[in-house]
Structure 1
Amino acid sequence: MPKVTAQGKTFDCKPGANLRQVLLQNGIDLYNGQSRLINCRGIGTCGTCAVEIEGATSEANWRDRTRRSLPPHSSDRNLRLACQTQVLSDIQVTKYDGFWGQGQTRVWSPRVEG
Structure 2
Amino acid sequence: MFKIVAQGKTITCSEGENLRLVLIRNDIDLHNGKAKIINCRGIGSCGTCSVEIEGSVSEANWKDKARHSFPPHSPEKNRRLACQIKVHGDLKLTKYDGFWGQGDEVVWTAE
C-alpha displacement of 1:11 = 1.0
Are 2:1 and 1:29 aligned?
no
One-letter code of the match for 2:6?
A
Mapped to 2, the partners of 1:81 and 1:11 lie a distance apart of 19
Taking structure 2 as the reference length, the TM-score comes to 0.99
Find the aligned partners of 1:99 and 1:51 in 2 and give their Cα distance. 12
Structure 2 unaligned blocks of 5 or more: none
Larger proportion of strand: 2
Q: Aligned equivalents of 1:2 and 1:89: distance in 2? A: 6
Distance, in Å, in 2 between the alignment partners of 1:100 and 1:11 is 24
Report the number of matched residues: 111
| Within-5 A mapping of 1:48-59 | 48-59=48-59
Which letter does structure 1 place at the counterpart of 2:15?
P
Residue matched to 2:66: 66
Secondary structure of 2:87's counterpart equals coil
Q: TM-score if structure 1 supplies the norm length? A: 0.96
Runs of at least 5 residues in structure 1 that lack an aligned partner in the other structure: none
Q: RMSD of the alignment, in Å? A: 0.4
Matched residue type, 1:45: S
Would you identify which runs of 4 or more consecutive aligned residues in structure 1 move more than 3 Å? none
Per-residue deviation, 1:95: 0.2
Question: Given the alignment of the two structures, is residue 5 of structure 1 paired with residue 5 of structure 2, yes or no?
Answer: yes
Instruction: Give the deviation of 1:76 after TM superposition.
Output: 1.0
